[in-house]
Chain A
Amino acid sequence: MTIALMLIGMFALALLNVPIAVALGIVATAAILVIQGPASLPNMALVMFDGASSFPLLAIPLFILAGAIMNVSSISRRLIAFTSACFGFVRGGLSMVTIGASMFFAEISGSAVAGVAALGTILIPAMRSRGYSKEFAAAISSSSASLAIIIPPSIPMILYAVMAQTSVVKMFVAGILPGILGAIGLAVAAYIQAVRYNFPVEEKFQLSRVWRTLKEAAWAFMLPVIILGGIFGGFVTATEGAGLAVAAALVIGGLIYRDLNLRDLRKACIDGAVQTAVVMLLVASSALIGTFLTEAKLPQALAQSITGFTSNPYVILLLLNVFFLILGMFLHSAAAIILTVPIVMPMITAVGIDPIHFGLVLTLNLAIGQQTPPVASVLIASCAIAKSDIWETTKVNLPFILALLVVLLLCSYVPWISLVLVHLFYGSTG
């Protein structure tokens, strides 16, 4: 009963535009007062501290910072030049370049909005000048940027792994194949449209050009090798890998390419701190609610009532997919993870779904959620750069969303895709 009241209160407050972190905090504090009495109220300050104190979550500000540094250096421009030399000869070459460059960018940055900001500001004007419509330019930039949260490292994956108490590194490994599949799916959808609208070819394929641009971007390509190699090889933890990413981006952008300036760096640090704080305040106040969820055994009750109805993991995955796709239209990905993962986890384990597999399915859902308005951070950023209407762009974006949906279904029902590399590298997912 209390829990039902708490949930209703939470939703009511959130819908009235009370910041979600505050809505969680107010409801939880009221519950402390009613259930445990006023003497327990000081606990809220302790829980708000402990909830934010986490070593694994420290990877979040560091990966945000690494992405922001890449953003202000010439690293992203070099990535684009190389992918252009590789894929520019295909019909609709610039859309292929967008997908390819987004994939490389995703290996260093964990944030899709950072990807749009870095690549979209260059590629959208380029596509416009080659005769692509502004809606198409915005749509392809937006959907390929969502690869950033599927391909490791990924901020939503870090959040999920911490909330679900599973391994951040194994989540990262699980994202590799689905990320590649996602890129292929987008490329197929882009090619079909390119033929239909007769988009231009960029340049003839020249091995010499590929070689030259590869040499110019060689240091930029060292970044993912160092970071992912370090993390997957077990030399550093995910958090240390994130620290390494910042150091490497600083050395390559600052000492080798020499195109970082202090003003940009200062802004990158401050904006990174704000983005981190927004996510972490939610994490902290969800810890307040978490104590009640545990005591009321709500997640267990939910697990029981659903498994009484069906214990088929495929049916449950389908239901969850529908639920998360709808949720993704209205909620930012960080908020969706923080609010739902503690509640659905016992159900996932009860029906025997691997937590790593589920984490990946959830991440794919959130990647699509970033594309579905009205709340669609990546799409909105991309439309703002292209100066296109959000709903018109969404129409053009539908084939790309469909491609991502196909990948989502594949990954939901073929757990092998997400788990094979994890088994290969680590022997087990546990």
Chain B
Amino acid sequence: MSLKSIRVAFERLLEAIALVLMVSLTALVIAGATFRYLGNALSWYDELASIGLVWLTYYGSALAALRGAHIGVTGVVNAMPAKARVIVAVFAEAMVFLFFGMLAYYGVQVLLVLQGEYMISLPEVPTQLTQSAIPVGAVLFMIAEALRLPEIMRAARGEGFVDLEIKEALELGAHDGKSKAAGGLQ
């Protein structure tokens, strides 16, 4: 498999996880509110929903890393000459791998300590499962960052980094602009 097809497959995987988490979290909140309104509150709903947000944070972060969506300050780096920019980009990537490497390592250590502990409101669910989002998410983040590395280095050598929001808005302007304007004001 080429790097490109690996990247596409990995993106599909992360998208599927993000989709499942988002849909189930929404359903959980709606169900929780409904049950409470009917006077039959689910005791485990707040705790589970909060954990769901953590999962959404770390699995979603990996996808965000693959898309280059995490918030950074590009102005200074873009003003540098290309050579300096390449060095800075290598340094910045090293920081990302250092941090998530530590998060993965200590995340696993925490899992070992949590052996035999369970959620407060759902005693069937081991805390190891809920906390697993940290090391798993960190590893996925590093894979995503590694897959995007060629793109990052190309941007560093070339014109510099483009904000993802600008890129997305440009796409919006190109596609939606036409289709929506066509059906626009009646």
Contacts and interface: CB of A to CB of B under 8 A. Distances in A.
Interface in A14-31: 14-23, 25-26, 29
Interface residues of A, number: 82
A421 interface: no
Interface residues of B, number: 76
A17 B173 contact: no
Contacts, number: 241
B181 interface: yes
A382 B74 CA distance: 20
Nearest to A13: B95
A273 B30 contact: no
A386 B77 CA distance: 27
A205 to B, nearest CB: 16
Given A17-B72, A45-B110, A274-B18, A121 B176 contact: yes
A46 B52 CA distance: 16
Interface in A54-106: 54-55, 57-58, 61-62, 65, 77, 80-81, 84
B166 interface: yes
Contacts of A16: 76-77, 88, 91-92
B64 A274 contact: yes
Interface in B109-163: 109-110, 113, 131, 133-135, 161, 163
Given A45-B107, A117-B172, A281 B19 contact: no
Among B56, B99, B134, residue most surrounded by chain A Cβ atoms (within 10 Å): B99
A121 B72 contact: no
A266 B67 CA distance: 17
Nearest to B22: A269
A269 B18 contact: yes
A216 B163 CA distance: 38
Nearest to B91: A16
B82 interface: no
B60 A332 contact: no
Given A53-B54, A61-B53, A81 B33 contact: no
A126 B182 CA distance: 10
Contact of A273 (B18, B70, B165, B185): B18
A126 B181 contact: yes
Given A17-B76, A55-B46, A384 B166 contact: yes
A126 B185 contact: yes
Contacts of B100: 22
Given A15-B73, A240-B29, A53 B63 contact: no
A284 interface: yes
B71 A19 contact: yes
Interface of A: 13-23, 25-26, 29, 41-46, 48-49, 52-55, 57-58, 61-62, 65, 77, 80-81, 84, 113, 116-117, 121-122, 124-126, 235-236, 239-240, 242-244, 246-247, 266, 269-270, 272-278, 280-282, 284, 330-332, 334-335, 374-375, 377, 380-387
Q: Which 8 A-B pairs have CB atoms at the shortest separation, nearest pair first?
A: A277-B60, A243-B29, A384-B169, A125-B181, A273-B18, A381-B169, A240-B33, A280-B57
Given A19-B96, A281-B70, 13 more contacts: A18-B72, A20-B70, A29-B99, A45-B106, A54-B53, A58-B50, A65-B22, A122-B181, A243-B29, A274-B60, A277-B59, A278-B60, A386-B173
20 contacts: A18-B72, A19-B72, A21-B70, A25-B99, A41-B106, A42-B113, A43-B106, A49-B133, A58-B53, A77-B180, A77-B184, A84-B185, A116-B169, A239-B49, A242-B29, A273-B21, A277-B56, A280-B60, A385-B169, A385-B177
